[in-house]
Amino acid sequence: MTHQWFPLTDRWRSAEAYTTNRRRVEDMALPSVMVLPLLVVVAAGLYYIYNEAMRLMSKSLVRNKVVVITDAVSRSGTESSHLFHKGGARLVLCGTSWDQLESLYNALTDDADPRDTFAPKLVILDFSNMDSMEDVVAEVVECYGCVDVLIFNSSMKLRSPAQSVSLNLDRNVMDVNYFGPSTLAKGVLPAMISRRSGHIVLINSIQGRLAFPFRSSYAASKHAAQAFFDCLRAEVEQYGIVVSTISHTFINASDPLPVDGPALKPNRLTAFFTKQLTHGVRPSVLANEIMQTVNRKRKEVVLAHPFPRMALYFRSLLPSFLFAVLAAGVKDSVLDE
Annotated catalytic sites, by residue? 218
Distance CA 249, CA 280 (A): 6
Cβ contact 217:170 at 8 Å: yes
Contacts of 45 (CB under 8 A, 6+ apart): none
Q: Give the three-class secondary structure for 267.
A: coil
CA 131 to the chain's CA centroid:
31
CB atoms near residue 107 (< 10 Å): 14
Contacts of 276 (CB under 8 A, 6+ apart): 305, 306, 307
DSSP state of 96: S
Strand pairing report for 149-152 and 300-303: unpaired
